[in-house]
Amino acid sequence: MRIGKYRINNAVLPLVVINVVVFLLQIIIGNGFTEMFMLISSDIFTRPWILLTSMFLHGGPFHLFFNMYVLFMFGTLLENRIRTGKFLALYFLSGIFASFVASFFYSRALGASGAIFGILGAIVILIPNLKVMPLFIPVPMDLWKALLIFTILDIFFFSNIAVMAHIAGGVFGVLFGLYFQKKQKVRIYKKPHSPGTHMTSEDIEDYLRRGRI
Protein backbone atom coordinates (compact mmCIF):
# COMPACT_ATOMS: atom_id res chain seq x y z
CA MET A 1 0.00 0.00 0.00
CA ARG A 2 1.22 3.52 -0.79
CA ILE A 3 0.41 6.88 0.72
CA GLY A 4 1.75 9.40 -1.78
CA LYS A 5 5.35 8.41 -2.45
CA TYR A 6 5.70 6.43 0.79
CA ARG A 7 5.29 2.65 0.94
CA ILE A 8 3.51 1.14 3.95
CA ASN A 9 4.22 -2.53 4.54
CA ASN A 10 1.24 -4.84 4.80
CA ALA A 11 2.66 -7.45 7.19
CA VAL A 12 5.54 -6.20 9.33
CA LEU A 13 3.75 -3.49 11.30
CA PRO A 14 0.66 -5.65 12.08
CA LEU A 15 2.97 -8.45 13.27
CA VAL A 16 4.75 -6.02 15.59
CA VAL A 17 1.41 -4.75 16.94
CA ILE A 18 0.11 -8.28 17.54
CA ASN A 19 3.27 -9.24 19.44
CA VAL A 20 3.04 -6.13 21.61
CA VAL A 21 -0.67 -6.70 22.34
CA VAL A 22 -0.05 -10.34 23.28
CA PHE A 23 2.78 -9.28 25.61
CA LEU A 24 0.44 -6.80 27.30
CA LEU A 25 -2.05 -9.65 27.77
CA GLN A 26 0.74 -11.70 29.37
CA ILE A 27 1.28 -8.89 31.86
CA ILE A 28 -2.41 -8.19 32.53
CA ILE A 29 -3.72 -11.77 32.73
CA GLY A 30 -0.59 -13.29 34.25
CA ASN A 31 1.31 -16.56 34.02
CA GLY A 32 -1.84 -18.59 33.31
CA PHE A 33 -2.13 -16.92 29.89
CA THR A 34 1.52 -17.56 29.07
CA GLU A 35 1.36 -21.19 30.22
CA MET A 36 -1.70 -21.80 28.05
CA PHE A 37 0.00 -20.75 24.81
CA MET A 38 3.76 -21.26 25.28
CA LEU A 39 5.68 -24.18 23.78
CA ILE A 40 5.72 -27.16 26.16
CA SER A 41 7.56 -30.03 24.52
CA SER A 42 5.46 -32.77 26.11
CA ASP A 43 2.26 -31.19 24.72
CA ILE A 44 3.12 -30.59 21.05
CA PHE A 45 1.21 -33.65 19.81
CA THR A 46 -1.86 -33.08 21.99
CA ARG A 47 -1.86 -29.29 21.51
CA PRO A 48 -0.02 -28.73 18.21
CA TRP A 49 -1.21 -25.11 17.95
CA ILE A 50 1.32 -24.13 20.61
CA LEU A 51 3.98 -24.42 17.87
CA LEU A 52 2.33 -21.29 16.44
CA THR A 53 1.04 -19.46 19.51
CA SER A 54 4.41 -19.61 21.30
CA MET A 55 5.80 -17.40 18.52
CA PHE A 56 3.80 -14.44 19.85
CA LEU A 57 4.86 -14.74 23.50
CA HIS A 58 7.92 -13.15 25.07
CA GLY A 59 9.83 -13.57 28.29
CA GLY A 60 10.23 -9.89 29.14
CA PRO A 61 10.38 -6.31 27.79
CA PHE A 62 13.94 -6.63 26.49
CA HIS A 63 13.15 -9.91 24.74
CA LEU A 64 10.15 -8.27 23.08
CA PHE A 65 11.98 -5.05 22.18
CA PHE A 66 14.96 -6.78 20.58
CA ASN A 67 12.80 -9.15 18.53
CA MET A 68 10.44 -6.40 17.35
CA TYR A 69 13.31 -4.06 16.51
CA VAL A 70 14.94 -6.70 14.30
CA LEU A 71 11.58 -7.66 12.80
CA PHE A 72 10.78 -4.08 11.88
CA MET A 73 14.22 -3.25 10.48
CA PHE A 74 14.95 -6.41 8.52
CA GLY A 75 11.39 -7.61 7.95
CA THR A 76 10.56 -4.35 6.18
CA LEU A 77 13.55 -4.81 3.90
CA LEU A 78 12.67 -8.40 3.04
CA GLU A 79 8.94 -7.82 2.57
CA ASN A 80 9.68 -5.10 0.02
CA ARG A 81 11.92 -7.58 -1.78
CA ILE A 82 9.72 -10.70 -1.91
CA ARG A 83 6.23 -9.21 -1.39
CA THR A 84 3.80 -9.76 1.48
CA GLY A 85 2.45 -13.23 0.70
CA LYS A 86 5.87 -14.89 0.49
CA PHE A 87 7.09 -12.91 3.48
CA LEU A 88 4.23 -14.19 5.66
CA ALA A 89 4.79 -17.75 4.45
CA LEU A 90 8.47 -17.50 5.42
CA TYR A 91 7.69 -15.91 8.79
CA PHE A 92 5.17 -18.50 9.93
CA LEU A 93 6.80 -21.59 8.42
CA SER A 94 10.25 -20.76 9.79
CA GLY A 95 8.75 -19.94 13.20
CA ILE A 96 6.75 -23.19 13.37
CA PHE A 97 9.73 -25.23 12.17
CA ALA A 98 11.95 -23.57 14.80
CA SER A 99 9.36 -24.34 17.50
CA PHE A 100 9.19 -27.98 16.43
CA VAL A 101 12.99 -28.37 16.50
CA ALA A 102 13.19 -26.56 19.85
CA SER A 103 10.72 -29.03 21.37
CA PHE A 104 13.40 -31.75 21.13
CA PHE A 105 15.94 -29.69 23.08
CA TYR A 106 13.96 -27.61 25.59
CA SER A 107 11.05 -28.49 27.84
CA ARG A 108 9.61 -24.98 27.45
CA ALA A 109 10.20 -22.13 25.02
CA LEU A 110 8.59 -18.97 23.70
CA GLY A 111 9.37 -16.03 21.44
CA ALA A 112 9.46 -14.88 17.82
CA SER A 113 13.19 -15.44 17.43
CA GLY A 114 12.84 -18.54 15.22
CA ALA A 115 10.73 -16.64 12.69
CA ILE A 116 13.04 -13.62 12.85
CA PHE A 117 16.11 -15.76 12.22
CA GLY A 118 14.20 -17.17 9.25
CA ILE A 119 13.96 -13.63 7.90
CA LEU A 120 17.67 -13.02 8.51
CA GLY A 121 18.62 -16.32 6.87
CA ALA A 122 16.65 -15.43 3.75
CA ILE A 123 18.28 -11.98 3.61
CA VAL A 124 21.75 -13.57 3.75
CA ILE A 125 20.92 -15.30 0.45
CA LEU A 126 18.78 -12.68 -1.27
CA ILE A 127 20.74 -9.58 -0.22
CA PRO A 128 24.23 -11.06 0.25
CA ASN A 129 26.09 -7.74 0.33
CA LEU A 130 24.04 -6.27 3.18
CA LYS A 131 26.24 -4.76 5.88
CA VAL A 132 25.22 -4.35 9.52
CA MET A 133 26.82 -2.73 12.55
CA PRO A 134 26.26 -4.76 15.74
CA LEU A 135 25.69 -2.65 18.84
CA PHE A 136 28.75 -3.99 20.65
CA ILE A 137 31.07 -4.01 17.60
CA PRO A 138 31.04 -0.57 15.91
CA VAL A 139 32.47 -1.95 12.67
CA PRO A 140 30.34 -2.68 9.56
CA MET A 141 30.31 -6.38 8.68
CA ASP A 142 28.40 -8.80 6.50
CA LEU A 143 25.10 -9.94 7.99
CA TRP A 144 26.12 -13.61 7.97
CA LYS A 145 29.22 -12.81 10.03
CA ALA A 146 27.15 -10.91 12.58
CA LEU A 147 24.71 -13.84 12.81
CA LEU A 148 27.60 -16.24 13.36
CA ILE A 149 28.96 -14.08 16.19
CA PHE A 150 25.54 -13.85 17.85
CA THR A 151 25.08 -17.62 17.57
CA ILE A 152 28.45 -18.31 19.19
CA LEU A 153 27.64 -15.89 22.00
CA ASP A 154 24.24 -17.56 22.48
CA ILE A 155 25.85 -21.00 22.76
CA PHE A 156 28.61 -20.12 25.22
CA PHE A 157 27.28 -17.20 27.27
CA PHE A 158 23.45 -17.28 27.35
CA SER A 159 22.12 -20.58 28.68
CA ASN A 160 18.54 -19.24 28.88
CA ILE A 161 18.30 -18.68 25.10
CA ALA A 162 16.85 -21.40 22.86
CA VAL A 163 19.74 -21.28 20.42
CA MET A 164 18.54 -24.38 18.54
CA ALA A 165 15.37 -22.46 17.61
CA HIS A 166 17.55 -19.66 16.23
CA ILE A 167 19.62 -22.10 14.19
CA ALA A 168 16.55 -23.96 12.91
CA GLY A 169 14.84 -20.73 11.87
CA GLY A 170 18.01 -19.47 10.19
CA VAL A 171 18.51 -22.71 8.25
CA PHE A 172 14.88 -22.63 7.09
CA GLY A 173 15.35 -19.02 5.97
CA VAL A 174 18.50 -19.88 4.01
CA LEU A 175 16.72 -22.76 2.24
CA PHE A 176 13.77 -20.47 1.49
CA GLY A 177 16.14 -17.86 0.07
CA LEU A 178 17.86 -20.42 -2.16
CA TYR A 179 14.50 -21.69 -3.43
CA PHE A 180 13.21 -18.17 -4.08
CA GLN A 181 16.46 -17.21 -5.81
CA LYS A 182 16.33 -20.25 -8.09
CA LYS A 183 12.67 -19.63 -8.90
CA GLN A 184 13.40 -16.01 -9.82
CA LYS A 185 16.15 -17.07 -12.24
CA VAL A 186 13.80 -19.30 -14.25
CA ARG A 187 10.95 -16.79 -14.25
CA ILE A 188 9.63 -16.01 -17.75
CA TYR A 189 10.10 -12.31 -18.39
CA LYS A 190 7.36 -10.17 -19.82
CA LYS A 191 7.77 -8.91 -23.36
CA PRO A 192 9.30 -5.42 -23.66
CA HIS A 193 6.91 -2.56 -24.06
CA SER A 194 6.23 -1.55 -27.60
CA PRO A 195 7.48 1.86 -28.80
CA GLY A 196 5.35 4.66 -27.53
CA THR A 197 3.96 2.64 -24.60
CA HIS A 198 4.50 4.34 -21.25
CA MET A 199 5.72 2.39 -18.25
CA THR A 200 3.40 2.53 -15.27
CA SER A 201 4.62 3.22 -11.73
CA GLU A 202 4.18 -0.51 -11.02
CA ASP A 203 6.43 -1.36 -13.99
CA ILE A 204 9.11 1.03 -12.76
CA GLU A 205 8.98 -0.38 -9.22
CA ASP A 206 9.16 -3.95 -10.56
CA TYR A 207 12.20 -3.05 -12.66
CA LEU A 208 13.99 -1.43 -9.74
CA ARG A 209 13.29 -4.45 -7.52
CA ARG A 210 14.01 -7.26 -9.96
CA GLY A 211 15.84 -5.66 -12.88
CA ARG A 212 13.12 -6.63 -15.33
CA ILE A 213 10.05 -5.19 -16.99
What is the tens place of the pLDDT at every residue in 9-36?
A: 589 999 999 999 999 999 999 999 999 9
Indicate the number of domains in the chain.
Answer: 1
Best CA proximity match to 16, nearest among 91, 89, 85, 90: 91
Q: Answer whether residue 213 is part of any domain.
A: no
pTM of the full structure: 0.79
pLDDT of residue 158: 61
What is the tens place of the pLDDT at every residue in 95-146?
A: 999 999 999 999 999 999 999 999 999 999 998 888 777 666 666 777 877 7
Q: Answer whether residue 6 is part of any domain.
A: yes
Q: Is 113 a catalytic residue?
A: yes
Q: What is the 3-state secondary structure (H, E, C) of the chain?
A: CEECCEECCCCHHHHHHHHHHHHHHHHHHCHHHHHHHCEEHHHCCCCCCHHHHHHHCCCCHHHHHHHHHHHHHHHHHHHHHHCHHHHHHHHHHHHHHHHHHHCCCCCEECCCHHHHHHHHHHHHHHCCCCEECCCCCCCCEEHHHHHHHHHHHHHHHCCCCCHHHHHHHHHHHHHHHHHHHHHHHCCCCCCCCCCCCCCCHHHHHHHHHHCCC
Q: Catalytic residue among 54, 94, 103, 166, which?
A: 166
C-alpha pair distances (Å), 40 with each of 32, 36, 104: 13, 9, 10
Range of the domain at 22: 2-128+163-182
What is the tens place of the pLDDT at every residue in 66-89?
A: 999 999 989 999 999 999 999 999
pLDDT of residue 191 exceeding 60: no
Q: Catalytic residue among 54, 94, 99, 113, which?
A: 113
Q: Answer whether residue 188 is part of any domain.
A: no
Q: Is 166 a catalytic residue?
A: yes
Q: Answer whether residue 145 is part of any domain.
A: no
- For the chain, what percent of residues have pLDDT higher than 90? 58
Tell me the β-bridge partners of 19.
none
- Cβ–Cβ under 8 Å, residues 19 and 58: yes
Q: Answer whether residue 195 is part of any domain.
A: no
Q: Which is more confident, 130 or 92?
A: 92
Instruction: Assign residue 17 the CATH number of its domain.
Output: 1.20.1540.10
